[in-house]
Structure 1
Amino acid sequence: MRWLKDNALSLAFLVMFVLALAGQAVAGTLEFNDRQVAGGGEPVSVPHFVASSDFAVDVAENWQSEYLQFFLFIMLTVWLVQRGSPESKQPGEEGGESDERQRVGPHATAASPAWARHARGPRLWLFSNSLGLAMGAVFLLSWLAQSVAGQAAHNAERLQDLRDPVTWGSYVTSAEFWNRSLQNWQSELLAVLSMVVLSIYLRQRGSPESKPVGAPHSATSTEG
């Protein structure tokens, strides 16, 4: 029970993610079959649809926009600040900060991760940037998956219309690909902007994403 309590937040989101993904699979199958029947085709099963390029492109499209959002937020908050937001560092603290503040090298403690105890070298650099690198890598991989699955789905539609398929390079430079991508990007960037700005003036009692209820609007990098 202690383990469940200590990991309740990640477990809750994991369960919601699995339920949402399963719901998308079922709803997507019903929508796909509706189009199939309308076009004179045969309906497919849920496993068949989940293995299709139609499902893969929709999932990868959402994933890449989410991880792009987190990658940009992680990297930009190193150098950019927003006065009054709990999502920002204090003005004047821009940059990678000192070794003492980051508790690396000679400033590390016995409880610090092993790679943080190195004063210099590739292991310290890699660990110091591991979160941004991981988010960027997932974004690039999901973007690649979206482009490949999207090309397959796009070519399937073209073949149904008796048109020639297009190459991967032609697809990733097409208006359809960028229309799909930018639709997701703009919504994610607006969500981050809203979080950064609204958290200056609004509160959620007990949330670490909010300032204390009584904190002044100008308070920066302060969590409730």
Structure 2
Amino acid sequence: MTPPTNRFLRFAKDNGLSLVFGAMFLVTLFWQAVAGQAEYNDEMRSLGADPIGFGRYLASAHFAVAVTENWQSEYLQFFLYLFGTVWLLQRGSPESKEMHKAGTESDEDQRVGRHATPESPRWAGAGGLRQLLYSRSLGIWMCVVFLGSWYAQSVSGAAAFGEQRLRELESPVTWSEYLTEPDFWGRTLQNWQSELLAIGSMAIFSVYLRQRGSPESKPVGASHHATGVEG
């Protein structure tokens, strides 16, 4: 029987990427909440209002919109990247497929249908709608999370915007009215442009620059023209 310590170490090694980034996410989310509460309470004091506690701030529209406006842009990035790289190519980039592989590729290349192996997921060997959905499930899920977090941003943003207008002795706006406000589109587009810049930069920088040992980079000695080659 494998000792618990060894099982834990094996689990940590097998899941190191998700565990480390998950922990970093929780730490940064906590400190974002701390900083956000301090900023919000400073604003309340300047208006002569009482500050709020940490728990109440976590349930506030101010915190919700700050979180969701970043989430929706990140998942938009993944969604666009997953679907875009099916057809769009970048010669010399490991972020691109090889130049002759544009498109959804053959069933044999993708190991679906009769080309599925015993180790393949069950739906990869199925036909019809199940295979169609599973073969696009990652992109579909990223799109669902993007739309859900964008909707959450719009709802929390409308609430935060309404609070601000009330403090300025102006009437709040409805959710549908908020969708036409510069505040909503300013929050949205400032995140979208940064994510699109990041995708484009990674695609072109990885043609000429290297990171030894990273699967996101070509091998150090690979040609600049080598496409779809990962280290």
The reply on whether 1:201 has 2:225 as its aligned counterpart is: no
The separation in 1 between residues aligned to 2:80 and 2:181, in whole angstroms, is 24
- Equivalent positions of 1:41-190 (< 5 A) are 41-118=49-126, 120-190=127-197
Instruction: For structure 1, list consecutive stretches of 5 or more residues without a partner in the other structure.
Output: none
Aligned to 1:217: 224
Q: Deviations over 1:26-52 (max 9, x none)?
A: 111111111111110111111111100
Percent of paired sites with the same residue: 59
1:9 paired residue among 11, 17, 22: 17
Q: Deviations over 1:99-140 (max 9, x none)?
A: 00000010000000000011x211101100100000000000
TM-score (normalizing by structure 2): 0.95
The separation in 2 between residues aligned to 1:165 and 1:104, in whole angstroms, is 53
The separation in 2 between residues aligned to 1:2 and 1:73, in whole angstroms, is 32
Instruction: Point out the more displaced range, 163-172 or 11-20.
Output: 163-172
Shift of 1:162: 1.5
The separation in 2 between residues aligned to 1:113 and 1:173, in whole angstroms, is 44
The amino acid across from 1:91 in the alignment is M
The separation in 1 between residues aligned to 2:55 and 2:32, in whole angstroms, is 12
Aligned length: 223
SS of alignment partner, residue 191 of structure 2: helix
CA RMSD of aligned residues (A): 0.6
Shift of 1:92: 2.1
Shift of 1:164: 1.4
Moved beyond 6 Å, runs of 4+:
none
The separation in 2 between residues aligned to 1:131 and 1:215, in whole angstroms, is 30
TM-score (normalizing by structure 1): 0.98
The amino acid across from 1:210 in the alignment is S
The separation in 2 between residues aligned to 1:104 and 1:41, in whole angstroms, is 62
